């Protein structure tokens, strides 16, 4: 079967890290299977939906490299929902209810007080035509519930959780349409999945009970349900569900200098038995994607792990991939020289300043001052066309007898103003003869 997955965010806010993981998993499974990955904007809540968030969702997916193969918007499909809803009403699978939220809350409390499950008692099914007419005359508009079939258990084989079994008699008939005619999530999503040809739904395990109800909705509409995979939810580094994860979005990661490849590499693998690796090409991650490797334990999202992974990704990025974000004038040779010492691409600016100058001369001891005077003289005479660093240190070792840290550290401090950093054999040719002599004299 041709695999078709979808990512279905609501444009009522920015995507957070949990949403991003769902998008990544659906994209990877579609790419692994050679199928299609679709974006569906769930914007039936007109009051809360915002076009700015629609644009942000598209931008976030583009930044991650998750190009959808098509897009649908629920706000453009209201007629399709009304048509299928009418068919369900005619078949007696949706019914009118009039209880207020306060009345329902009171009933739940009574049931809990009796030690019973707080599910809807289907009292509205006992209403007669006269009752409906009276309530309508009183100006009370109904909301609608989907009537679950209690005759058989709800079962499916989840790609991650394995065989699932729900007793519909222990579930409340879900509300699918509000009194004002607007739609809740469950039924439109099923109708969309049917019409869009969705074959596979990958989402968080917090949707498992929704899936149980939706399985019956697919059947009531004469369609086979897609295959479902419910991934364990993300937790913070402290091992508990973290509210902070709900606020971490693309803007946060971009401001922190995180590369999209790092975020994809981490979110693709946490919660699985596969190691988290600095894979730059997401198609390589997709090729290895396997639901059998997902565990049931919560997936631990650690920003420290992400930062370390990001550094390893940055160390692999070619100059062409980062050139627009580098300081003006920074060359490919300079990027190659400093790249192994970077945590983020933004860190390159500080090392370019070291190369291009000026550099603050460090304080030096009398011994080091004399040594650096000798270094300046040697720098004027060595051959800069080859390997000036080893030529310089070789000449100074022969002249002064210094070696190891006593030889190399004063030179690094004088030439870069730093006691650590990229390989000096790569940096010194970039600094150049004249600047190097000036810095050595200034420090000495």
Binding site: which residues?
Answer: 243
Binding-site residue set for ATP: 243
Question: Pick from 237, 259, 231: which is nearest to 63 by CA?
Answer: 259
Cα–Cα distance, 412 to 37 (Å, whole number):
52
Gap between the Cα atoms of 124 and 132, Å rounded: 10
Tokens for 218, please give them: 């697919």
Closest CA to 290 of 278, 309, 265, 273: 273
- The CA distances from residue 179 to 89, 97, 317, in Å, are 15, 9, 55
């Amino acid at each position: 079967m041709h695999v078709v997955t979808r990512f279905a965010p609501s444009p009522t806010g920015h995507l957070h890290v949990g949403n991003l993981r769902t998008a990544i998993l659906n994209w990877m499974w579609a790419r692994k299977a050679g199928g299609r990955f679709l974006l569906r904007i769930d914007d039936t809540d007109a009051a809360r939906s915002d076009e700015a968030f629609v644009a942000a969702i598209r931008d976030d997916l583009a930044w991650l490299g998750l190009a959808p193969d098509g897009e649908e918007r629920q706000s453009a499909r209201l007629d399709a929902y009304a048509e299928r809803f009418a068919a369900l009403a005619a078949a007696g699978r949706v019914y009118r209810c009039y209880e207020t939220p306060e009345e329902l809350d009171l009933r739940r409390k009574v049931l809990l007080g009796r030690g019973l499950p707080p599910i809807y008692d289907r009292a509205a099914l006992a209403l007669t035509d006269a009752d409906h007419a009276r309530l309508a005359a009183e100006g009370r508009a109904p909301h609608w519930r989907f009537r679950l079939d209690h005759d058989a258990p709800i079962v499916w084989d989840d790609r991650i959780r394995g065989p699932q079994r729900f007793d519909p008699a222990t579930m409340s008939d879900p509300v699918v349409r509000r009194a004002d005619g607007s739609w809740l999530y469950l039924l439109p999503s099923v109708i969309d999945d049917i019409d869009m040809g969705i074959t596979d739904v990958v989402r968080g395990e917090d949707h498992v009970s929704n899936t149980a109800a939706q399985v019956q909705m697919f059947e009531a509409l004469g369609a086979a349900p897609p295959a479902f995979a419910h991934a364990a939810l993300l937790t913070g580094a402290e091992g508990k569900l973290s509210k902070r994860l709900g606020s971490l979005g693309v803007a946060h990661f971009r401001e922190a200098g995180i590369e999209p490849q790092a975020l994809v590499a981490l979110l693709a693998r946490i919660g699985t038995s596969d190691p988290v690796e600095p894979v730059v090409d997401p198609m390589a991650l997709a090729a290895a994607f396997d639901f059998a490797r997902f565990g049931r334990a919560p997936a631990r999202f650690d920003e420290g792990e992400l930062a370390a992974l990001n550094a390893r990704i940055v160390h692999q990025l070619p100059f062409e991939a980062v050139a627009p974000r580098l300081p003006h004038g920074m060359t490919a040779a300079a990027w190659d020289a400093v790249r192994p010492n970077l945590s983020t691409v933004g860190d390159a600016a500080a090392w370019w300043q070291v190369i291009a100058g000026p550099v603050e001369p460090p304080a030096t001891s009398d011994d080091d001052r004399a040594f650096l005077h000798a270094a300046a003289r040697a720098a004027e005479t060595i051959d800069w066309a080859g390997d000036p660093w080893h030529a310089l240190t070789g000449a100074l070792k022969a002249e002064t007898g210094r070696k190891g840290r006593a030889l190399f550290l004063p030179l690094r401090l004088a030439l870069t103003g730093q006691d650590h950093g990229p390989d000096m054999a790569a940096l010194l040719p970039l600094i150049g003869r004249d600047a190097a002599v000036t810095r050595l004299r200034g420090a000495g």
